[in-house]
Structure 1
Amino acid sequence: MARKQVLRALPADWPVSITEATNGRQAMDAIRQGLGQVVLLDLTMPEMDGYQVLSALRAEGLKAQVIVISGDVQEEAVRRVHELGALAFLKKPFDEAELRQTLGKLGLLAHPGQTPQPRAVQNTAISFHDAFRETVNVAIGRAAALIAKVLGVFVQLPVPNVNILEVGELHMALADASNSQQLTAICQGFIGGGIAGEALLMFHDSEITDIALLMQRESADYSDLEMLLDLSSVLIGACLSSIAEQVDVGFSQGHPQILGQHAAIDELIRVNRKRWKKTLAVEISYSLEGQDISFDLLLLFTEDSIPRLTHKLAYLMN
């Protein structure tokens, strides 16, 4: 879906032929064949990410002019791609005018007298899963940028997993999280515009001391749980606000609570049993570079939310 958005935004009068790649490895193969004089590059990709592509281009001495288009908007991400040779960085979501302006500034648009070449653009249908995954991808990048500032670290972003879970699978996953002696799970409900659900953020207890060091906790009165609740509010809030902005709704958020303490798993399941027959589940595993710290964010949308989200994302899927 990200590629389709870029294709739509390319100037219609730009005399180029276009090659698409689904991951960094395919991109490198195409560039080696001379098919990538100008490269519009994402960062979060399977098999070989954008940073690895930029490093490989430099190592192999390949002369590609690279513009990065990414939802990873950490200041360190922008700095790194420029250091690795990217000419420009566009933050997702971008628009046609922004891309054209960037291409123009870099002298990459058509010169007078050149005529556009016919483009064989594949008009592939975009599924709801693909559209929603790209929406979440932008959201987790916004959240990572905030966490990076709070903790003073670089956050490594995954490709998010989007699945439909049956109620039994969901309950088993939540029960495992709440019963674990090694995890602290924080949940926060949200609702708005016909869309509702729960966000769960899970921390490994063995890493809480290291998180406290990064947050430079100075007061003994500031407990581990208070610290995790504050961190959860930042991360969950940033994710949900970005998703809400992209689908043009407003979310009201409940207070974050410790799963298994203030919010028992049995009560969470009982309250949501009817609306969680099937659940749209998004799994995101953040890790911090140079630190033995990772945490998992699970966004659970009720089955009734799926038609509304599908309607809201229809403009991306067509």
Structure 2
Amino acid sequence: MNENLLFAAITALVCLPLSLALAAAGLPLASASMLLNPPKRVKVFRDKYGQQTATFCLLAGIIATACLGAAAGFLPMVFPAAASFWLGWPLPLAPLAALLVLCAVLAVAYRATWQILKENRPAHAAMGMAATVCGWGLGYLFLSFFRHFAVSSADPAADPTLFLPPLDSASWLLLPSVLALTLAMAGASAPLYLIYRREKDDFGRDYYNYALKMAGKWALGGSAGALASQGALFALLWPVVRDMPIRASFFWGEAVALTAFVMAGLLWSMVLKNQNPLRLKLHCVTGYALAVAGLSGMAVAVSRFFFG
């Protein structure tokens, strides 16, 4: 198999659990924001949507952690240099693990106190938002460590300031893209769980029509933010990349990302405009698949740039 195709296939495989990890980071914010001053006519719908997505957040986080953790277990056999870096102690493993545990604790507490804090919505919403902020912090740490791994051979424990990218680093354009992707994946993946649980929960057609549209709004908004950041990143890096051997992988990775997210956006827009979104279940499933494809394209382009 062609080296580029093999690299793209492996990247896409990793992006499946990565998409769930991103969704798990964004879902608490997506549900917590709905607890604040909900209109009376949709208050019940928002509560149900928030509770379901909070549960899905835990499931997505468990699956993503298990899959990515298993992949990390193969690092010493496949990529010894990567294993010695990413599994190094105390850097970078300790802060990554600590923040991951904090994210998990906040997410579990947010879901577990749904009934207890029912009358104290601001406190409950703050807990959910804090879970997402910790998830975003985890994204920042990963990006800064990834940059250090790619550009420097120095021992990470020797100079921790190497994990602070300079102001002109592409990492500062990647960061908002990652943050936006947490919301995009939260909106793209939530309908899959809602559809799966419909027969068991049976909250009524009106609720599911509302919930699918709400998820579509998050997916569209997050995708727009991610594409804007990627566009700025492409404009910054293309003058350098176009004269390098990686230009094809970088260009086509970004092209796949743009095409996939635009196509997914069209499907989500159709869900938003339809009076009965439950009839468009296939649109929701396809939208998520396209979002994962777009994430894979971004990952291929960025990885090729950093690793050459």
TM-score, normalised via structure 2 length = 0.25
Higher relative contact order (CA 8 A, sep 6+): 2
User: Where is the helix percentage greater, Structure 1 or Structure 2?
Assistant: 2
User: Where is the strand percentage greater, Structure 1 or Structure 2?
Assistant: 1
- Work out which of the two has the higher radius of gyration on C-alpha atoms and give 1 or 2: 1
